[in-house]
Amino acid sequence: MNLAANARDAMPAGGKLTIATQNVDLDDTYVQARPVVPPGSYVMLEVSDSGQGINPEHLPHIFEPFYTTKGQGKGTGLGLATVYGIVKQSGGFIWVYSEPGLGTTFKIYFPRVERSKRKAPVAEDTCFTASPHGSETLLLVEDENAVRDPACEFLRQCGYTVIDARDGLNAVEVADKHPGKIDLMITDVVMPGMSGGQLAELLAGKYSAMKVLFVSGYSEKVVLRHKILDVQTNFLQKPFTLKALAMKIREVLGHVSVSASAGGS
């Protein structure tokens, strides 16, 4: 999604976005050119656009957190860094090919896993009954719809009252309109306009008993640069499963059921 959004921004007057997948086998010849990639079987995801391209001086830095070539207020510099982190967590590799005026192509290689002949078990995340439940009120702050919407639906099925917000400013608005208490705020660390840490400090006066769970696609080391207290204990790394989220919520609130603890995540 981040790659597609970048492609859109690179084609302000319109253009062509191509997304393709392919099974590839990388032999010793390819590995000699890309020594960090071990030979083997991969699934390649290719995302190409016919946009403005990337200047050579920017290419070495595009996966660095907070590095952006967009104007002020138009980019956080986190999109490609997030892509890079997800690819690496999956054991994959990513390469970019681009020249000014000729568009950009990202090629992502994920290790290929042969499908087991055994019948796959039902995913635990789709069965909310396998996850610990609760009845508290949660404030979920997440600027990515693809993360926020399914998380809200899942947590409501788990019995929680969920108030959701798309960013820090929106969270302040919805919190002001909420008549009751808020037991836990789940917030992304890095968001446009206001960070999760700033939001937590802002709401601490009104909701002194409210606990906070920070989530981020970045490691705890990077998150700690934002000077967030208790991030090591109240922190969940993206990408996470819905069951892992449910378990972490009970941990932060101080109520982990025996059955849920035994199940793991």
Q: Which residue has the higher pLDDT, 123 or 92?
A: 92
pLDDT tens string 14-23:
888 999 998 9
The neighbour count for residue 139, using CB atoms within 10 Å, is 24
Mean pLDDT calculated for residue range 232-243: 74
CA separation, residue 112 to residues 23, 31, 235 (Å): 8, 16, 31
- From 3.30.365.10, 1.50.10.20, 3.30.565.10, 3.40.50.2300, which CATH number describes the 2-111 domain? 3.30.565.10
Q: pLDDT (tens digit, 9 = 90+) per residue, 36-87?
A: 567 788 898 998 888 888 888 888 787 777 667 665 555 555 678 888 888 8
The per-residue pLDDT for 237 is 77
Question: pLDDT at residue 190 above 60?
Answer: yes
pLDDT of residue 235: 85
pLDDT of residue 228: 56
Least confident range of 124-128, 172-176, 197-201: 124-128
Mean pLDDT of 202-223: 80
Class for the domain spanning 128-252: alpha beta
What are the sequence ranges of the domains in the chain?
Answer: 2-111, 128-252
For the segment 86-95, the average pLDDT, to the nearest whole number, is 85
Q: What is the mean pLDDT of residues 85-108?
A: 85
Q: Is 49 helix (H, G, I), strand (E, B) or coil?
A: strand
The three-state secondary structure class of 222 is helix
* Tokens 């409501």 belong to residue: 156
pLDDT per residue as tens digits for the range 249-265: 999 998 644 333 333 33
Which tens digit of pLDDT belongs to each residue from 112-158?
A: 877 655 554 444 444 455 678 889 999 999 887 777 888 888 899 88
* pLDDT at residue 97 in the model: 82
* Per-residue model confidence (pLDDT) at position 150: 83
pTM of the entire predicted model:
0.52
Structure-model confidence comparison of residues 33 and 28, the more confident one: 28
pLDDT mean across residues, the chain: 78
Q: For residues 134 and 136, give the distance between their C-alpha atoms in angstroms, rounded to a whole number.
A: 6
Q: In sequence order, what DSSP letters do the residues of 166-212 get, joined into one string?
A: SSHHHHHHHHHH--S---EEEEESS-SSS-HHHHHHHHHTT-TT-EE
CA pair distance 239, 83, nearest whole angstrom: 11
